[in-house]
Structure 1
Amino acid sequence: MTAPEGVPPKNVLAVVAPHVGGRGAGAALATVFPAGARVTVVESAGEDPAALREAHVVVTALAPVTADHIAAAPHLELVQCASHGYDHVDLDAARERGVPVCTIGSSSAEHHNVAEQTFALMLALAKQLVPAHMALTGADWALPRLQQSLTELYGKTLGVVGLGRIGAEVARRAVAFDMNVVYAGRRRVDPGTEARLGGARHVPLDELLRTSDYVTLHVPLTDATHHLLDAGRLALLKPTAFVVNTARGALVDQDALADALESGALAGAGVDVFDPEPPTSALRLLKAPGVVLSPHVGGVTRETLVRIALAAVENVADHLAGEPPRDVVGG
C-alpha cells in the first residue's frame, strides 16, 4: 500500500539491533517499504540524531526505544515493533506523547516457529539429546548412564502460562503428543477452544506449577510478569519437572532457576531467551546442569523473518495511508 497521492513521503527510522542482524537485516527490511516512506537504517535509535529528529515512524527490531529517544523525535507518530514483544519500548513515554506502539501480534508471523522451538526444547530435554550427543562425540556410549533420566511426553501434563496465540499453538501440538494440557492466565478461553485443545483446563498459576511435568511460558514481559517464576514459584515445581522459556528472559529469575537446577530441585530447563541478550559469560544458566540452550532462535527462521518484516511494514504502510494501525499496545 502506498501513501495517498500528493502526500509527501514520511521518514521511517528502522532500528535493527546487532544481535538480530543489524544493518544488513535492516537494509533488506528497507527494500519492502512503500514508496511513501524514506527509510534510514541504524542499529541503535540514537545512532543518527538527525534521522531520529526527523522520524515520523520508528520501526524497532528488538532495539531499545527509550523515553529519551521518544523525546528527541518531535514528529513521531508511530512506534512499530517488528516482534510480538514490546518490552524494549518505553510505553509510558509513548503514551504521554500520544504515540501508539504496535506489535505484529495478530499476524501469526512467529506463532508456528515459536511453538516448534518450544517442542524442540521439550523433546531435547525428555530424550537427553545434548548430553547424549556430547558423550558420543567423545566416544562415550552413555546409554547406561542416561537411561534413568530418559522420559517421554506421552501422558505428561503440560502447563501453558499464557494461552494466547502462541500458547494455543503449543497446546495444539501437545494434543498430538497425547499430553494433558492445563493453562493459567488472566481469563479462561471459551469452552470450544478448550475442547479443541484436548479438554485443556484453566487453573491458578500455583496449581499449574505444582501439577505440571513441563511448564512453558507464553506471556508478554510487563512489570506484572517480570520474574513471574521467582524462587518461590520455582519451589512449587516437582523435582521431575522441566521449565521451557521461549518468550522473554526476564520472565524467569535466572539465578533462582540456576539454583534449582544446581540443587536438583528441578530436572531441567529449555531456554531460548535471556536477560540481557546476548547473555554475559557470567550467566550461571550457561553452565547449569540439565539445560538445553538456544540463542533466541524461536522467531527467526528464514520463513518467519519474511513474515515478520512484511507484517511490520504492512502496519506502517497502513499508517502512512491514513488507516488505523493494528495491534496497538500503548498510546
Structure 2
Amino acid sequence: MTTAPSSAEPTVKNVLAVVSPHVGGRTAGAGLATLFPGQARVTVVEAVDEDPAALREAHVIITGLSPVTAEHFAAAPGLELVQCASHGFDYVDLEAARPRGIPVCNIGSSGAEKQNVAEQTFALMLALAKQLVPAHTALTEADWALPRLQRSITELSGKTLGIVGLGHIGEEVARRAVAFDMTIVYAGPKPLSAKTEARLGGARHVGLDELLRTSDYVTLHAPLTEATRHLLDAERLALLKPTAFVVNTARGALIDQDALADALESGGLAGAGIDVFDPEPPTAALRLLRAPNVVLSPHVAGVTRETLVRIALAAVQNVADFVEGKPPRDVVS
C-alpha cells in the first residue's frame, strides 16, 4: 500500500537576530533572512528587548555582543537556542540557560575570527617592540627622538612568547610566532599532542605562573568565565619581568585593569597592548587610557570586513542546521 505524502507543514522557527549598531545594525542585518531555509522567520533588531513581541515568540536568538540576560530568557518561553556571533560568550547568562536545557553556542570551531585576531595580536606586539606610538607622537611634535627611542626598541626574534589559552586563535598566534623565531610556551587545561607542539616550533605546556615568570610577551586567548575573571591580578602581574609586555585581544575582564595600570605606572611592566576593556566602551576614568607605553584599540581585533562576513555565515549556518533538525555545534553551556 502506498502511503500518501504528509500535508503537514514544517514547523516555522522564529529567529531574533540582534545586529549591533557598531556593525551596521538593521541595515547590515537586512540580508539575514535570505540565508535561512524556508522554515525560519527572521526579525532583525539592534537590542534583544527592542521588540518585546518578537522576543516573546523567539525560538532562536542570534547575538553578537548584545547581552542576553536572565530576564530575556524569562521573556522568551519558547526559546530553544542562543547563537553567539562571536568566539566569546560571556555576555549570555549561561546559568539562566542551563535549567531549561537551552544550548548556547559560539562560532569557535569555524575559525572565523582566528586570522584577524592573530594579526591584531602581532600588530600590538610589533607596535610595542618598535615603539611606534611614541615614535609617531614625537615626530608630529617636531621631536627627532631617535637617540631616546634607540634605547627602548627591541626585536621579537629570540624572545619567549607566553600564550594563555592555545585554542584556535592561540594556535594561529603561535604559527606566526614561529615565523618570527620566537620561543613558545603556553598554559591551558591540558597539553597539545607532541606532533602539534613540534609543528608549533617545539611549544611547551607550562603552568601559568611559570609562563608569566619566563615570558617576554604574554598574550591572552582564554574565554572569560568566573574562573578566569581577573586571571592576571596584581599578584600574577608581579610575576612578570619588568621588561615584559602584556597583550589582550580576548576579553577585558581577564586582567585587573587597575592592577595593570599600577604595574605600568610603577615600571613593573614594560608595556601593554589592549584591544578589549571592562566595561566597553571604557569610561574616561580608565587609567589605562593615560598609562605609559600602552597601545590601545577599540575591540577591533575580530571586526575586519572579511571577518564579519565569516562570523555571520558561521552563526547563520549553525542556526540553519538547527532549524532543519541537526544538532548544534560549539555548545558552550
- Does 1:186 pair with 2:192? no
Where do 5+ consecutive residues of structure 2 fail to align? 1-7
C-alpha contact 1:225 1:251 (8 A) present in aligned 2: yes
Find the residue that maps to 1:328 and give its secondary structure.
Answer: coil
Counterparts of 1:8 and 1:308, CA distance in 2: 26
What whole-Å deviation, never above 9, does each CA across 1:155-194 have from its counterpart, x for those lacking one?
Answer: 0000000111110110110000000000011101100000
1:53–1:73 contact (8 Å) kept in structure 2 = yes
CA distance in 2 between counterparts of 1:141 and 1:11 reads 61
Q: Which of 71, 87, 101 is the aligned partner of 2:90?
A: 87
For the residue of structure 2 that corresponds to 1:295, the secondary structure is coil
Paired residues of 1:20 and 1:61 also in contact (CA < 8 A)? no
Q: Which of 293, 309, 313 is the equivalent residue of 1:310?
A: 313
Give the secondary structure class of the aligned counterpart of 2:272: strand
Confirm or deny: 8 A CA contact 2:237 2:263 kept in the other structure: yes
Q: Any residues of structure 2 matched to 1:21-170 within 5 Å, and which?
A: 21-170=24-173
Q: Give the conservation status (yes or no) of the 8 Å contact 1:14–1:30.
A: no
1:30 Cα deviation from its structure 2 partner: 4.3
1:213 equivalenced with 2:220 (yes/no): no
Q: Determine helix, strand or coil for the equivalent of 1:80.
A: strand
Counting matched residue pairs gives 326
> What residue is the counterpart of 2:256 in the other structure?
253
SS of equivalent residue, structure 2 residue 295 = strand
Q: Considering only CA atoms, is the larger Rg found in Structure 1 or Structure 2? A: 2
**TM-score if structure 2 supplies the norm length?**
0.95
Query: 1:22 corresponds to which letter in structure 2?
Result: G
Deviation at 1:309, TM superposition (A): 0.3
In the alignment, structure 1 segments of 5+ residues that lack a partner are none
In structure 2, the partner of 1:320 is: 323
Whether 1:268 and 2:285 are equivalent positions in the alignment is no
Partner Cα distance (2:264, 2:24) in 1: 32
Distance change >3 Å, CA 314–CA 152, structure 1 → 2: same
1:259, 1:250 → 2: CA distance? 16
Determine the C-alpha separation between the residues in 2 that align with 1:312 and 1:306. 10
What is the distance in 1 between the residues matched to 2:89 and 2:154?
A: 36
Q: Does 1:15 align with 2:34?
A: no
Please say if residues 162 and 217 of structure 2, whose CA atoms lie closer than 8 Å, have aligned partners that are also in contact. Answer: yes
Structure-2 separation of matches of 1:29 and 1:175: 39
Alignment TM-score, normalising by the size of structure 1: 0.96
Give the drift of 1:15.
1.3
Letter in 2 for 1:181: I
| Counterpart Cα distance in 1 of 2:10 and 2:173 | 44
Match of 1:171 among 170, 174, 192: 174
CA distance in 1: counterparts of 2:262 and 2:30, whole angstroms = 42
Q: Secondary structure at the match of 1:163?
A: coil
Native 8 Å contact 2:138 2:145 kept in 1? yes
Cα distance in 2 between the residues matched to 1:31 and 1:224: 40
Counterpart-to-counterpart distance in 1, 2:134 and 2:266: 19
CA distance in 2, matches of 1:44, 1:287: 32
Following superposition, the deviation at residue 199 of structure 1 comes to: 0.5
The DSSP-based 3-state class of the residue aligned with 2:35 is coil
Displacement of 1:28 in angstroms is 4.4
Question: In 2, are the aligned partners of 1:159 and 1:208 still within 8 Å (CA)?
Answer: yes
Residue type at the aligned position of 1:42: V
For 1:44, the aligned partner's letter is A
Structure 1 72/207 Cα, relative in aligned 2: closer, same or farther at 3 Å?
A: same
For 1:250 and 1:26, locate their aligned partners in 2 and report how far apart those are by CA, in whole Å. Answer: 29
Paired letter, 1:297:
V
1:20 deviates by 4.1
Percentage identity across aligned positions? 80
Q: Residue 6 of structure 1: CA displacement?
A: 2.5
Structure-1 residue corresponding to 2:245: 242
Alpha-carbon distance in 1 for matches of 2:30, 2:268? 47
Match of 1:281 among 261, 278, 284: 284
Quick one: structure 1 residues 281 and 34, their matched pair in 2 at CA, closer, same or farther if it must change by over 3 Å?
A: farther
- Whole-angstrom CA distance in 2 between matches of 1:122 and 1:28: 37
* Counterpart for residue 3 of structure 2: none
1:35-56 residue CA offsets vs partner (Å, 9 max, x unmatched): 3221111222111111100001
Matched residues in 2 for 1:280 and 1:79: separation?
29
Larger RCO: 1 or 2 (CA < 8 Å, sep 6+) = 1
